[in-house]
Amino acid sequence: MADVEAPLSDTARDAVKIVICGGFGVGKTTFVRAVSEIDPLTTEAVMTEKGVGVDDVAGVEGKSVTTVAFDFGRISVTERIVTYLFGAPGQDRFRFLWDNLFLGAWGAVVLVDTRRLADSFPVIDHLERKGLPFVVAHNRFDDSPDHTLDAIRGALDLADGIPLVACDARSHTSGKDVLVALLDHLHTLSAAQEAAS
Cα separations in angstroms, 108 against 19, 40, 46, 162 = 5, 18, 26, 11
pLDDT of residue 98: 73
Instruction: Find which of 32-41, 43-52, 89-98, 160-169 is predicted with most confidence, using mean pLDDT.
Output: 160-169
**CA-wise closest residue to 179 among 70, 76, 39:** 76
In a domain, 47, yes or no: yes
Judge whether 148 lies within some domain. Answer: yes
Per-residue pLDDT, averaged over 156-168, amounts to 95
Model-level pTM? 0.80
Separation between Cα atoms, residue 133 and residue 18, nearest integer Å: 10
What is the number of residues in the chain? Answer: 197
In this structure, is residue 9 part of a structural domain?
no
Which range marks the domain in which residue 69 is found? 14-196
Give the separation between CA 182 and CA 114, rounded to whole angstroms: 21
The answer to whether residue 156 is domain-embedded is yes
* Contact yes or no for 30/169 (Cβ under 8 A): yes
Residue 5 domain-assigned?
no
Q: What is the pLDDT of residues 44-78, one digit of tens each?
A: 556 556 555 555 656 555 555 555 557 889 998 77
pLDDT tens-place string over residues 20-39: 999 888 899 999 999 999 88
Return the H-helix or E-strand segment holding 30.
Answer: helix 28-35
Asked if the structure places residue 7 within a domain, the reply is: no
- CATH, residue 114: 3.40.50.300
User: Would you say residue 1 lies in a domain?
Assistant: no
∠ CA 188-192-195, rounded to 5°: 140
Residue 163 included in any domain: yes
What is the CA 131 to chain-centroid distance, rounded? 16
Number of separate domains in the chain? 1
Would you tell me how many other CB atoms lie within 10 Å of the CB of residue 55?
17
